[in-house]
Structure 1
């Protein structure tokens, strides 16, 4: 069936942004320079350098600016983007144009050609104005639909109607935020969105249930023209589709390129995986299947004191309204629980 995958799939490597959920958005300079050199020999179209507008205490790649992009990506041969969180704009007391300007202070179109907007699927009406403002400022605009895997049929249709009203979008991403989708669900959503929207369609997979790779392939077969990946699969919670697994399948790498990619992952990201422990597990799978925010599992696993069974017991006590958004106060209560 792989011979039905179309040519021309665009790959976006978001290691420095999604992997930052483990490192606090700081990476050693040697890793970053090697990462840029490795990307340059791969069929990657765009690199996501980090987030924009987050507090400075979060780390270098959590508050990207044009000057940072010029420094980090001076030798990068592909396009670069940064991500903003729509809820940071919507939580501001400023009018949306001023809130967007404040959040993206220090960013002008140039080395950063594109801004990705991460938005919950229920907040699209307000996002229309965020996307329009970014487009007017000269950026390409990509929109990541977060938690769309939890939407029912009526909510998906409402999303499509809202998206049809936004004419400033270059790519709409289906984000499998909980890592809960089966390939059939991925293909259903990709097909519906591709059939209705003028924009290109992308897919961002998470690996809670171990499906990130197969779901990414399924998305490409269903019509997605942008697919995300990260080195070693490093990303929030269980992580993402691994670049070294996805690119040889969809990117048809040559031997030298595949060896360079594997060497980079072995040298830099396998040690990080041993330290931070991302990857599919029973606890992440339970969280995915029950629509629990993956940061709960990530935080509960941090010190290695809890088994997956103990983590699942604690997560089972979360109320429905506590599950989909991560909150430190809920985490503190889960940590304090004693399981009989």
Structure 2
């Protein structure tokens, strides 16, 4: 089996859990420990990527360029990675990140909008960075559509393309179908990013590896949006048991997990009712708060709102739809009374 490369996402996806309040000192400490444990890629940005610190997405305690610089100073052989969502992050942000020490970018788009990644991938390659495509909400498109979009990213020069289960909605068969099809048609590496809303993150990651994915994501203590991501320390232990080489020292990762649990994690990363329903419905974790507000306003169940949003394949940026759906459900209740 090919070498498996893990990207640790706690300092990016985990930023959602701490309301984007990571300090340079925390980032420096965690990065140093991850590097010494042999983690090859460490992602550091605002939870919504470069340029995410804003009124809309939440202000960071420190500018993400400062956090990237702090990480790069102690990263050793590990490569500092950044996430960039076109429309939030810009070419200017990407160049700033490179100057601060980032050497890898994951350009993230909705699964049907890979075309907006072209200039960002091309710019990253011109800078000498590794550039990966990151197809968010991959559960919401057919395997054939995912392949179509992945091929676009490959044509722009991406070194790998990730199937991204942003809502934690995928079943193992969903992962298998998508990774297998991409592996059969792409000439670049395949990656997989999981969320644990249905308690399937580790299982789905193993399926992805078995189908040919060589780039996988993990997060210490499951630190990530929703119910978190694939738990790094668990995944490393399982892969060790399976004889799959990652080059990561399990005991050092376990020691770091103890530190994160005691000093960073604000609460246990459980699968709450809200997280579970988001995975069941297949919607972004950011929708939960808006659905709860709309439900209280019009007197309906937030879970019904989330399920209906999932049926409509609503994506980030369409939050205005939430109140419309809530009102529709309320009208239906009145009509059936």
TM-score exceeds 0.5: yes
Alignment correspondent of 1:72? 71
Deviation at residue 327 of structure 1 after TM alignment: 5.6
CA–CA separation in structure 2 for the residues paired with 1:283 and 1:164:
36
Conserved? CA contact 1:11–1:43, under 8 Å: no
Pairing partner for 2:195 from 206, 210, 235: 206
Q: Are residues 38 and 111 of structure 1, via their aligned partners in 2, closer, same or farther at CA, if it must alter by over 3 Å?
A: same
RMSD: 3.5
Conserved? CA contact 1:82–1:114, under 8 Å: yes
Conserved? CA contact 1:173–1:204, under 8 Å: yes
Pairing partner for 1:296 from 287, 291, 316: 287
**Can you list the C-alpha shifts for 1:132-167, whole angstroms capped at 9, x where unaligned?**
12212222101111111110244234324424532x
Say how many residue pairs are matched: 315
CA–CA separation in structure 1 for the residues paired with 2:32 and 2:154:
39
1:238-317 equivalent positions in 2, closer than 5 A: 238-250=227-239, 257-269=249-261, 272-273=264-265, 275-276=266-267, 278-297=269-288, 311-316=302-307
**Can you list the C-alpha shifts for 1:61-101, whole angstroms capped at 9, x where unaligned?**
6x533x64333331222111111102336xxxxxxxxxx43
Alignment correspondent of 2:88? 88
Alignment correspondent of 2:132? 142
CA–CA separation in structure 2 for the residues paired with 1:112 and 1:232:
24
Give the gaps of 5 or more residues in structure 1.
Answer: 1-5, 90-99
Alignment correspondent of 2:51? 53
Pairing partner for 2:183 from 194, 200, 215: 194
Q: Are residues 19 and 176 of structure 1, via their aligned partners in 2, closer, same or farther at CA, if it must alter by over 3 Å?
A: same
Corresponding residue SS for 2:12: helix
Q: Are residues 239 and 70 of structure 1, via their aligned partners in 2, closer, same or farther at CA, if it must alter by over 3 Å?
A: same
Q: Are residues 188 and 329 of structure 1, via their aligned partners in 2, closer, same or farther at CA, if it must alter by over 3 Å?
A: closer
Give the gaps of 5 or more residues in structure 2.
Answer: none
Q: Are residues 283 and 105 of structure 1, via their aligned partners in 2, closer, same or farther at CA, if it must alter by over 3 Å?
A: same
Q: Are residues 261 and 191 of structure 1, via their aligned partners in 2, closer, same or farther at CA, if it must alter by over 3 Å?
A: same
Q: Are residues 226 and 301 of structure 1, via their aligned partners in 2, closer, same or farther at CA, if it must alter by over 3 Å?
A: farther
CA–CA separation in structure 2 for the residues paired with 1:236 and 1:28:
19
Alignment correspondent of 2:16? 21
Conserved? CA contact 2:281–2:306, under 8 Å: no
Deviation at residue 124 of structure 1 after TM alignment: 1.4
Task: Calculate the TM-score normalised by the size of structure 2.
Answer: 0.79
Larger displacement relative to structure 2 (115-124 or 152-161): 152-161
CA–CA separation in structure 2 for the residues paired with 1:125 and 1:329:
25
Conserved? CA contact 2:114–2:153, under 8 Å: yes
CA–CA separation in structure 1 for the residues paired with 2:148 and 2:249:
43
CA–CA separation in structure 1 for the residues paired with 2:310 and 2:239:
40
Task: Calculate the TM-score normalised by the size of structure 1.
Answer: 0.79
Q: Are residues 331 and 19 of structure 1, via their aligned partners in 2, closer, same or farther at CA, if it must alter by over 3 Å?
A: farther
Corresponding residue SS for 2:255: helix
Deviation at residue 45 of structure 1 after TM alignment: 0.9
Q: Are residues 60 and 334 of structure 1, via their aligned partners in 2, closer, same or farther at CA, if it must alter by over 3 Å?
A: farther
Corresponding residue SS for 1:181: coil
Conserved? CA contact 2:43–2:80, under 8 Å: yes
CA–CA separation in structure 2 for the residues paired with 1:272 and 1:120:
30
Deviation at residue 230 of structure 1 after TM alignment: 0.7
